[in-house]
Chain A
Amino acid sequence: MWSYAFKRAGTTAVTLLAASIIIFAFIHIVPGDPIYVLLGDTATPDQIDALRHQLGLDQPIILQYLTWAGHVLEGDLGRSIFFQAPVLSVIADGAETSTLLATMTMIWVAVIGVPIGMIAAVRHGTWLDQGLSGAAMLMASIPTFWVGLYLILIFAAWLGWFPSSGYPSIFEGGVVNLRYLVLPSLALAAPNAALILRLTRASMLDVSREDYVRTARAKGIRPWQVVRRHIWRNALLAVVSAFGFTFAALLSEAVVTETVFALPGIGRLVVQSILRRDYPVIQGVILVIVVVYLLINLIVDLSYRLLDPRVELQ
């Protein structure tokens, strides 16, 4: 177990190094320049050169990378060119929104996706199963921003049940501020719940084809009891790992939803930083996302292997 964990940690570190180099190279071949955005319309070439020099952007790229990597190893991700604040604090601020949004989304996904998936599996082959599976497929085919726009229109502008947009921190207004995340999390939950629903159904069906389940069934145990006693724990293994990856993806890939709902999340932070060429923020955020992704990957892997003794640790 431990040697496996160490080995995995080792490859994770190598992956991280490769990723950091790619990030850096990638970002600096983007055309455009933060200086232009910073100084605006009327900057003269002299002003531009002087500021570029001050920010160290005129140095060779390898030197820039080494300086950056050195600071990162000391835990310093640098300072944002635009926000004039440490990148780490900028990310932390966005992470609050993104984490809460992803968590709330996953709650919807769990509440909607898993039970309905189980129902579909138990009623396998009936019209109910076909209807539910079809509905899930339809949900997975609708663009989230399209749903988001209509959610705002109906539940915020017309009915006034939820706030339309934005998210003031819960550390300022208390947990009631979570109501700001209800609509966006619902928009995000729709396709993800659909995928989890289908996965739950499929893995339950897979498990139910196993011999021990057939035996139980042959002994005349009622279908729901078979599910409760034999199928559901095993089937859930696959679902749990899918949860991990969906959560990781939601942290950074909710850009479109964050834009529609004006949420101060990580996704929008990156997109905006890419558009403004705020290099330190882009580098920092992507690095953090990659680390989080690799960590979740590691945790999912290890827990999978812990939960299911049959999986060999190679």
Chain B
Amino acid sequence: MRYGPSVLMRGVVGLVTASFLLAQANAATLLREATIGEPPPLDVMLTTADVASVIGRHIFETLYALDSTYTPRPMLAESDGTEDGGRTIVIKLREGVLFHNGKEMTAKDVVASMTRWGSFGARGKLLMAAATSVEATGKYEVTLKLSAPNGAWKALIADVNGGLAIYPEDIAAKAGNRPIEQKDYIGTGPYKFVEWRPNRYVEVERFDGYKPVKEKGDGFAGARVAGFDKIRFIPVPDVGTRVSGVQAGDYDYAEMISGDLYESLSKDSSVQVQRTNAPIFGLFFMNSKQGILKDNYKLRRAIQTALDKSQALRVAFGPKDLWNAEGSIFPNGTPWYSTDGASNYSAHDPKKAKELAKEADYTGTPIRLLVSTNYQAHYDEASVFTRQLADAGINVQMMVVDWATLLKMRGQPEQWDIFVTHHSFAPDPLLLTFLNASYPGWWDSPEIGSLRAELINTTDPAARKSTWGKIQSLIYEQVPVMKVGDAYTYDIASPKLKGLNPNGPVFWNVSTK
């Protein structure tokens, strides 16, 4: 009798524990990811917005995928071969890959996707401008014919960001240039689209019919295993709120945290920090079409010479771990790293800048700098540079607008002289926006014209690399853009998460075990 209550108690505790465990076993596992904001439509072929790519990467797949060294590896493709000196590309597809609608992916789907991407895809022209035909030459074989060889073709179709995601044939064929509807978010990825609640979340769930490749997961390449039943991508615009949210356990993962919190968060046991291995870099575009900077290489060099890039980087990104004042467009350690011309990267020599400006007959005309506050780093960099240029007697006037206005204004050459943006890591120089002559800035001098053609049509990696070196020298001479420096963004996550991907926020192969 004395032990009565205690036994009873144990029984109750046991029962409660058991039912709790049962409930846990039954409960769907959910990963909550705090994104920087609401994405545009998830038609990843059309948009280069990172918010859309992060979600889209779970739903849609590409023929190749980048591994942790940013080398393209087969994903939906099985193998490939080139003929006719690189003008004909034959891609064999993996068999048995299913779309979320249950249909098998075949060459027809790839052809339709490639055709749409070529006409409307954000980065489609880079490869498809030279395409003469795309055909299904077998149930699982696609043949692409080009008018000239393209040395970067694999890298150009290895990511969903404005890239060649494979959609089902009927969807790709009828979509045209308008973003596809939500019901058509059908891909081959390890997660399938469930619903999009505006300002609340985008939800995806595990796709049971997913067939991973045999190779082990590495970067975005290799086998993809969905470790959660569901993932919710929740827009949390305020970075402070994202941080508190992970600390309080309301989110499991949060993107793009401010550099100045890096040190304290690194020591915080309630979160783990995840630094990306692919730096982004700020870019200041010069107007090559109109205005005071058009063909005015001396004045551009005066501007370049006046700047101390590390000051801007320190203000925008905080601790030294998170940035690198690197003049090479591609970071050290990548195949495209080059020191050509980089000595002009960050001279910080106001005296010499003044001389150059004088030689360029600069008399203090205001130079209009277009920048948006939607990206704090852009604004920080612009503020620092404006100040440094003032010290060198160069009169810069900031025009601060919102991002939507900036996107429109930068397309109008009469509106600006310099505009600020950033560029994400690119696996191949051809993916750099400033090598595209129709991108605002419109760098299309005869010198770059011929070097660009050389870079596209060469297939030998060593020869392409030496061409890139010449282009980088030209960038420091004609200054179509100024690179601010490499910035390593970082995310934070609940300490429970294992297997986070240093290439970026993707949640296959991530689990709590």
Contacts and interface: CB of A to CB of B under 8 A. Distances in A.
Interface in A247-286: 259-262, 264-265, 268-269, 272, 275-277
A42 B238 contact: no
A37 B38 CA distance: 12
A166 interface: yes
B209 interface: no
Nearest to A53: B177
Interface in B398-439: 402-405, 407-409, 411, 421, 433, 436, 438-439
A78 B200 CA distance: 21
Contacts of B222: none
Contacts of A288: none
Given A44-B125, A82-B40, A31 B177 contact: no
Interface stretch (B42-50, B101-109, B300-308, B378-386): B42-50
B65 interface: no
B407 A90 contact: no
Contact of B408 (A36, A152, A264): A36
A275 B402 contact: yes
Contacts of A160: 248-249
Nearest to B50: A40
A251 B210 CA distance: 44
A163 B248 contact: yes
Contacts of B196: 83-85
Nearest to B235: A262
Given A37-B40, A40-B49, A153 B244 contact: yes
Given A262-B237, A264-B199, A277-B404, A38 B41 contact: yes
Given A90-B198, A269-B199, A32 B48 contact: no
Interface stretch (B67-75, B136-144, B178-186, B313-321): B178-186
Nearest to A281: B198
A85 B120 contact: no
A215 interface: no
B404 A36 contact: yes
A3 interface: no
Given A51-B177, A93-B197, A166-B250, A84 B41 contact: yes
Interface string B167-202: 000000000111101100000000000001111100
Interface string A43-55: 1110100110011
A62 B408 CA distance: 23
Contact of A39 (B122, B125, B244, B403): B122
Contacts of A31: 405, 408-409
Size band of the interface chain A makes with B:
35 or more
A42 B439 contact: yes
Contacts of A47: 120, 177
Size band of the interface chain B makes with A:
35 or more
Contacts of B179: 38, 84
Contacts of A23: none
A123 to B, nearest CB: 40
| Residue among B46, B49, B177, B181 having the largest count of chain A Cβ atoms under 10 Å | B177
A33 B251 CA distance: 33
A41 interface: yes
B335 interface: no
Contact of A54 (B34, B178, B244): B178
A94 interface: yes
A260 B38 contact: no
Contacts, number: 151
Contact of B250 (A41, A80, A165): A165
A221 to B, nearest CB: 53
B121 to A, nearest CB: 9
B238 A262 contact: yes
A183 B169 CA distance: 49
A274 to B, nearest CB: 9
B234 interface: yes
Contacts of A167: 200
A260 B241 contact: yes
A156 interface: yes
Given A50-B177, A277-B404, A83 B198 contact: yes
Interface in B206-243: 234-238, 240-241, 243
A38 B240 CA distance: 27
Nearest to A45: B411
B247 interface: yes
Nearest to A261: B241
B433 A157 contact: no
| Residue among A32, A42, A80, A93 having the largest count of chain B Cβ atoms under 10 Å | A42
Contact of A264 (B200, B240, B251, B409): B200
Given A82-B38, A94-B198, A259-B238, A37 B248 contact: no
Contact of A37 (B235, B241, B245, B404): B404
Contacts of A80: 198
A47 B123 CA distance: 12
Contacts of A43: 122
Interface in A133-163: 149, 152-153, 156-157, 160, 163
B162 interface: yes
B195 to A, nearest CB: 10
A13 B243 CA distance: 47
Interface in B489-512: none
A140 B11 CA distance: 55
A156 B244 contact: yes
Contacts of A82: 38, 40-41
B397 to A, nearest CB: 18
B245 A40 contact: no
B145 to A, nearest CB: 23
| Residue among B46, B48, B249, B404 having the largest count of chain A Cβ atoms under 10 Å | B404
Contacts of B162: 40-42
A3 B46 CA distance: 57
Contact of A275 (B199, B243, B404): B404
A99 interface: no
A264 B374 CA distance: 19
A290 B409 CA distance: 32
Contacts of B240: 149, 152
A51 B408 contact: no
Contacts of B49: 40
Nearest to B41: A84
Nearest to A34: B404
A204 to B, nearest CB: 40
Nearest to B438: A44
Given A41-B48, A277-B404, A157 B244 contact: yes
A257 to B, nearest CB: 11
Interface of A: 31-34, 36-45, 47, 50-51, 54-55, 80, 82-85, 90, 93-94, 149, 152-153, 156-157, 160, 163-169, 259-262, 264-265, 268-269, 272, 275-277
29 contacts: A32-B407, A36-B411, A37-B40, A41-B122, A41-B433, A42-B122, A42-B436, A45-B411, A47-B120, A47-B177, A51-B178, A82-B41, A84-B182, A85-B182, A152-B240, A152-B244, A156-B245, A164-B247, A165-B238, A165-B241, A165-B244, A165-B250, A166-B236, A260-B238, A261-B241, A262-B238, A264-B198, A272-B199, A275-B404
